[in-house]
Amino acid sequence: INPFCLLLLKQINILNHTYGKMEPESVKNEALVLEGEGDLGIVTKNKRNSYDFVLWKASKPNEPSWDSPWGKGRPGWHIECSTMASNILGNILDIHSGGIDLRFPHHDNELAQSEAFFDHSQWVNYFLHSGHLHIEGLKMSKSLKNFITIKNMLKTYTSNQIRILFLLNRWDGFMNFNPNGESMKQCIEIDKFITNFFALLNMKIKNSVISISIF
């Protein structure tokens, strides 16, 4: 018995739905497909099409499981998100956000399965994809061991300096953090300028109040 329930992309096209709305050029990129499936990529040999993705899989011993027509198992990653979003927000979402790395295949898979289930052509009206934080030119990740937390950053920089760093970058672009780079030096200088401005302004206000009182 095949322990997996797959979404057949060929069937999606037969039903007049479109797969790959977010990144049509990536649909045939098998490396991205496998990366998006994570450990579920091992079921490739069971697929009619290597680009089909898992909706439901059999649970391993001691894993959480639920009853289904295909036996006990658990949902695939993509269907989890569609189910939670639709359960709360209904069958059409106005805005869906996420990291730029989720555009394909995750968000394309969400669209495919949701539009097929609800039988309409547009599950999400607008997507907002945020950029990534890079550390010294490389995407921040635990695997590269270049992971940095706000708590650690606050040991070196003030909260305002960190806020300025984010404000200097577009929300949908990538932001590069380099402790010895020009961007942090710029943030520190801007913070000093703003701090000095308000200190001078407060002093002038106090002097004005004193002058008025004496008069």
- Domains of the chain and CATH, by start: 4-130 (3.40.50.620), 134-214 (no CATH)
Q: Compare 44 and 24 and report the one with higher pLDDT.
A: 24
What confidence tens digit (pLDDT) does each residue in 90-105 have?
A: 999 999 999 998 999 9
Residue 38 has pLDDT above 90, yes or no: no
pLDDT value at position 39? Answer: 56
Instruction: Please give the Cα distance from 70 to 88 (Å, whole number).
Output: 26
pLDDT value at position 3? Answer: 62
- Which stretches does DSSP call E strand in the chain? 4-7, 53-58, 73-75, 93-99, 124-130, 133-135, 138-139, 175-177
Q: Compare 106 and 5 and report the one with higher pLDDT.
A: 106
Query: Exposed, middle or buried, 31 (CB in 10 Å: 0-12/13-18/19+)?
Result: exposed
Residue length, the chain? 215
pLDDT value at position 102? Answer: 93
pTM attached to this predicted model: 0.77
